[in-house]
Structure 1
Amino acid sequence: MSNDASNLDAMETRPSLLLVDDEKNVLSSLKRLFRKANCDVFIANSGQEGLEVLKEQAIDVIVSDARMPEMTGPEFLAIAAEKHPNTIRILLTGYADMEAISDAINLGRISHYVEKPWDDEKLQTLVHDAFVTINLKKRNEHLQSLVTSQNEKLTAMNETLEATVKERTQKIIEINAALQENYKNTIDLFANLLDMRTPRSSVDVPDIISLVTDMAELLNLPQRELIHLTRAAKMRYMSQMSFADELLFTPYVLLSEEQKHEYKQYPLKGATLLKNIRPLVPVADIILHHKEYLNGEGYPRGEKEASIPKSAQILTVANDYVELITGRMWETTLSHQDAMDYLISKSGTYYSTSAVEALKSCLSTQKIEHSIDDHCVASQQLTAGMILSRDLRNHHGDFLLAKGVELADSAIMLLIELEKSSKKEFNLFVDIPAGLEVSKSLLKEIQK
Structure 2
Amino acid sequence: MTEATMNKPIVETRPENAPLKLLLLDDEEDIINALKRLLRNNYEIIPFNKGDEALAYLQENHVDIIMSDMRMPKMDGAEFLAHAREIIPNAIRLLLTGYSDMDSTVKAINDGGVYTYISKPWNNQDLKLTLEKASDHYLLKKEAKRLNEEVAKANKELEIFNQSLELKVIQRTSALQASTKKLKNTLQTQKELFFDVLDMMSATIEYRTGFSAGHSKRIAIQCKAVAKKLELDEAQCRRIYLCALLHEIGTVGLSDDLLQENSIGSGKLEDLLITHPMIGAEILGKVKRFASLTDNILHQNENIDGTGSPAHLSGDNIPVGARIIRIVKDFDFLIAGKTNAKRMSIANAYAWMKERADVWYDRKILKTFIDLLGNREAVDGEMEFSIGVEALKPGDKLLEDLILNNGNVMLKAGQEINSVMITKLKEYERRHNTKVTLFIA
**TM-score, normalisation: structure 2:** 0.49
Give the number of the structure whose alpha-carbon radius of gyration is greater.
Answer: 2
**TM-score, normalisation: structure 1:** 0.48
The structure whose RCO (Cα within 8 Å, separation 6+) is larger is 1
